[in-house]
Amino acid sequence: MFNFHIISLFPEIFDTYCTTSIIGRGCENGSIKVQAYNPRDFCTDKYRRVDDTPYGGGAGMVMKPEPLFAAFESIQRHPNSPVLLTSPRGQIFSQKLAHDFADNKSQEITIICGRYEGIDERVATLSTHEISLGDFVLTGGELPALTIIDAVSRLIPGVLGQADSIIDESFGTGLFQGILEAPQYTKPPEFRGMSVPDVLRNGDHKAIEKWRRQEALRVTYQRRPDLLDKTDLSKEDNLFIETLKTK
């Protein structure tokens, strides 16, 4: 079982998502477990204060270190497991990081969610990684935490119905390794004048695979050419990309 420990002032945010659909099924069948810890429960003062004004002045409130440290120290966790601090200043989350977290030996991660203007800097000493979802600011770390839970859970055996689906997908380990997925179609074959490409309907698996690889290269070239520089491409791939450049 893979354990997610979440430190959040709003643990209820995780209830619906983690009991619904694929993630819910993963929890139910014991492949993953999501436990939330509310720093407010670890306050020792009468008013259960989790935030205070920033030193040096400025707008808003900052999360105090004591309740966060106490919540963290209450968790029964492997001492070497990853601890993720959600922050716009962090490393951008990626499929590669999702794999690293899913494969970590302790089979557990802890995620700290900030709120207000952020978290007292001393809390960063608890973390092994600072993780950002992207170059924008959210009101809290709960959506990043749910995103990480979702992306990592899909890689844990027993969570997805068909394990194959994580192989041949964008950034997967199969046909679309490091690049974007090829277009997908389902029935009907004709819809409002738009047809499913013939190659997908003729049952020639070799031709289908070639078409998918080339379409994936085309989409990646058009939308994320930076990915092509970072992935291993065959001679055939490179020749195909050259034809795209001349169009």
Ligand X SMILES: C[S@@+](CC[C@H](N)C(=O)[O-])C[C@H]1O[C@@H](n2cnc3c(N)ncnc32)[C@H](O)[C@@H]1O
The DSSP secondary-structure symbol of 182 reads P
Task: Give the pair of three-digit tokens for residue 23.
Answer: 């993630």
HSE at residue 154, side-chain half, CA atoms within 13 A, is 15
Which of 6, 84, 98, 119 binds ligand X (CB under 6 A)? It is: 119
Q: Does 88 bind ligand X (CB under 6 A)?
A: yes
Which of 141, 146, 182, 213 binds ligand X (CB under 6 A)? It is: 141
- Got the DSSP string for 53-116? PPTT--SS-EE-HHHHHHHHHHS---TTS-EEEEEEEEEEP-HHHHHHHHH-TT-EEEEEPP-T
Sheet holding 108-112, edge to edge: 32-37, 2-7, 108-112, 83-92, 129-132
Supply the minimum distance, in Å, between the C-beta of residue 134 and ligand X: 5
Residue given tokens 């900030």 in the structure block: 114
**Binding region for ligand X (CB under 6 A) out of 45-53, 83-91, 170-178, 182-190:** 83-91
Rg (CA), the chain: 22
Q: Does 194 bind ligand X (CB under 6 A)?
A: no
User: What is the residue type of 81?
Assistant: S
State which residue, 93 or 176, has the beta carbon closest to ligand X. 93
**Binding region for ligand X (CB under 6 A) out of 8-16, 80-88, 154-162, 220-228:** 80-88
State which residue, 98 or 119, has the beta carbon closest to ligand X. 119
| Closest to 135 in 3D by CA, of 174, 91, 99 | 91
Contact criterion met (CB below 8 Å) for 160 and 200? no
**Binding region for ligand X (CB under 6 A) out of 6-14, 64-72, 87-95, 218-226:** 87-95
**Binding region for ligand X (CB under 6 A) out of 64-72, 133-141, 162-170, 206-214:** 133-141
**Binding region for ligand X (CB under 6 A) out of 14-22, 109-117, 171-179, 213-221:** 109-117
Which of 133, 146, 179, 217 binds ligand X (CB under 6 A)? It is: 133
| Residue 137 β-bridge partners | none
State which residue, 141 or 178, has the beta carbon closest to ligand X. 141
Which of 108, 144, 149, 216 binds ligand X (CB under 6 A)? It is: 144
Q: Does 86 bind ligand X (CB under 6 A)?
A: yes
Contact criterion met (CB below 8 Å) for 73 and 41? no
Supply the minimum distance, in Å, between the C-beta of residue 144 and ligand X: 4
Q: Does 110 bind ligand X (CB under 6 A)?
A: no
Q: Which residues bind ligand X (CB under 6 A)?
A: 86-89, 113-115, 117-119, 132-134, 136-141, 144
